[in-house]
A and B are shown apart, each in its own frame.
Chain A
Amino acid sequence: MTNPSEQPNVTQLLLAWNDGDEAARDELLPLVYQELHRLAGRYLGRERTGHTLQATALVHEAYLRMVNQQDVNWQNRAHFFAVSAQMMRRILVDHARSRHMAKRGGGAQQVDLEEALVVSDERAAEVVALDDALKSLAQFDERKSRMVELRFFGGLSIEETAEILGVSPGTVMRDWTLAKAWLQREIEKE
């Protein structure tokens, strides 16, 4: 999958999806998921000191690897990012959930040095809570829920998000402010 030319179908699927072929999207999802998972695993799995994982970088890397840029327009690109954000959400939430569960089942208390891991475990719990809250938000305000997905899980900028959602950056900022407050409150209710 390292060479875009070996993976021409992603580009084609994007184009087909853009032409209204919803089935193309369904085909696209697992491919993007796999690639992101592979890339994420490369970062998360190894103890590569000095390296940090950036969702944005990850998504962009996947994009560059999977899509033949000459054949697509910005809308295809936007679609790709939207799908990637959704997949990133799944990857991260799954990861957080498994971590969270392992912690709960894992009986023995952590001691000393291991407590350094506390931060990330708490963040893991947060991600799980956020994912749940986001589902509730989607029930009455789909756009904000998607926006959070793009911004938070996809690591996309305000401008990129605006482009994908087809709204102005100002609207994204406003929505983001309220969505954050709402989600924050939901998470804290737990």
Chain B
Amino acid sequence: MQTDRWQKIEALFHQALERPQQQRAAFLAAVCENDLELLREVESLLGAHQQNGGALETPASDLAADWAKAKQQASPNSVLVVSSSRTEKLKLNQFGSYQVIGKLGKGGMGDVYLAEDLRLRRKVALKLLPAELTNRKEWLRRFELEALAASATNHPNIITIYEIGKIEETHFIAVEYVEGKTLRQMIAAGRLECLTAMDIAAQIAAALSAAHAAGVHHRDIKPENIMVRPDGLVKVLDFGLAKQAKTPSLLTSSNATTAVEVYTAPGMVMGTPQYMSSEQARGLGVDYRTDIFSLGAVLYEMLTGRAAFGGAELIEILAAVAHREPEPLKNLAPEIPDRLSLIVERALKKDREQRFQTAAEFQMALKELKRELEIEALLEQRKSSNWMKRLFARFGKN
């Protein structure tokens, strides 16, 4: 690498770090102008910086200690080895009073396992904080806040936190295990029917309404964080980015893994760009109305099968979220009633003053329209069945 190039990268890296998390993307976009390569370079470094405990977090000294310890651990009593988050291997066994059954997936802050609580004989999803993050106060705090944020609200549409604790050196959260599909999986199978989409959105709005009432903003509403049970009940998951209104800026930091999932280059984005509110994308302060925007974007995607704000590059998406209107719903799904388009548009207003002002209001609008549509469908059905009767009657006469 050229020395001057490296110095430029170095300077930008530090300048970006001095800024609050939400402003970094906008800052870099501004200073890098058309130098996408520079932008990507700095961004990926920031992404790596934010990544939890890498190889360098533990000095080689302790690493040698690992070797010594590994020998000790090879005893029949060794229950659990949580290794680095990148390599994710877990010795499946008993973890405290939980019997680990298998791996469910990877969350923003660690792996998630399906386990059985041997005391209460129920299945739980066990989230383990990777060992190397435990030493980092910020992550530990975020991990605990995540549990706190979710448990602050007791609502059927919000995942229930059963227990938070520490076994040996591993911090964990045990949460309700939800069988079903993520909304992402559902959308991947094709766009959803109007009424289904509205029902799911209304349930998410109900969850948000409860969370907001408890002073919690979710801030990362997206299809991956929504589970739909086979019986249609919706559960909002992952309060990993949630922020309690009172809590200072600690939680504004990004969910690096989320960003990585979306881009090929590791990003440094807070929340997930496609579902970020315009104020979030512009690095402005956010309040609970950010969730309303995100839910609008999710509803849009359920109805059309594609993201409201797309783009190949991070900047493009951020720019789209901040300044561009999404393609009108009608163009993508002509069967969508105008009244529903209006609801989606209202949720996606750039100016949050023009959005639904509360999640409850959003929920109400969806519920009412859903009922209207159902009644209309019913009437339509009657009409047609009457028409059929007349038709049959006429044939009968002949």
Contacts and interface: CB of A to CB of B under 8 A. Distances in A.
Partners in one complex: yes
A26 B68 CA distance: 31
B397 interface: no
B68 A43 contact: yes
Nearest to B91: A115
Interface of B is mostly: helix
Given A115-B81, A116-B74, A118-B81, A180 B66 contact: no
A52 B56 CA distance: 18
Contacts of A177: 14, 17, 49
A53 B68 contact: yes
Most A CB contacts (10 A, CB to CB) among B10, B44, B55, B91 go to B55
B83 A118 contact: yes
B74 A114 contact: yes
A55 B61 CA distance: 4
A174 B44 CA distance: 17
Interface in A53-101: 53-58, 88-89, 92, 95
B377 to A, nearest CB: 52
B16 to A, nearest CB: 11
Interface string B365-390: 00000000000000000000000000
Contacts of A53: 61, 64-65, 67-68
A152 B48 contact: no
A44 B266 CA distance: 37
B63 interface: yes
A48 B68 contact: yes
Nearest to A182: B45
A184 B68 contact: no
B312 interface: no
Nearest to A47: B71
Interface string A106-131: 00000011111111101110110110
Contacts of B59: 55-56, 151-153, 155
B71 A40 contact: no
A58 B78 contact: no
B55 A129 contact: yes
B8 interface: no
B189 interface: no
Given A92-B60, A118-B89, A51 B68 contact: yes
Contact of A119 (B51, B54, B81): B81
Contact of A130 (B6, B17, B56, B61): B56
Contacts of A14: none
Interface of A is mostly: helix
A188 B17 CA distance: 21
B279 to A, nearest CB: 28
A13 B89 CA distance: 48
Contact of B69 (A52, A55, A139): A52
A44 B61 contact: no
B230 interface: no
Contacts of A114: 74
A114 B70 CA distance: 9
B239 interface: no
B68 A44 contact: yes
B76 interface: yes
Contact of A115 (B65, B67, B89): B89
Interface string A134-173: 0000011100000010011101000000000000000000
Contacts of B72: 47, 49
Contact of A92 (B55, B64, B69, B87): B64
A152 B56 contact: yes
Most B CB contacts (10 A, CB to CB) among A120, A130, A178, A180 go to A120
Contacts of A103: none
Contacts of A155: 59-61
Nearest to B61: A55
Nearest to A92: B60
A63 to B, nearest CB: 15
B193 interface: no
B1 interface: yes
A153 B62 CA distance: 10
Contacts of B48: 180-182, 184-185, 188
B70 A178 contact: no
Contacts of A188: 48, 86
Nearest to A40: B64
A10 interface: no
B17 A92 contact: no
Nearest to A122: B87
Contacts of B45: 178, 181-182, 185
A125 B10 CA distance: 28
B196 interface: no
B69 A123 contact: no
A57 B64 CA distance: 12
Given A122-B89, A184-B54, 10 more contacts: A49-B72, A53-B64, A57-B61, A89-B60, A116-B81, A116-B91, A127-B55, A130-B56, A184-B49, A187-B55
21 contacts: A54-B65, A56-B61, A89-B60, A92-B63, A115-B89, A119-B70, A122-B89, A123-B67, A124-B67, A126-B84, A127-B63, A139-B1, A140-B2, A153-B59, A177-B14, A178-B45, A181-B13, A181-B49, A182-B45, A184-B48, A185-B48
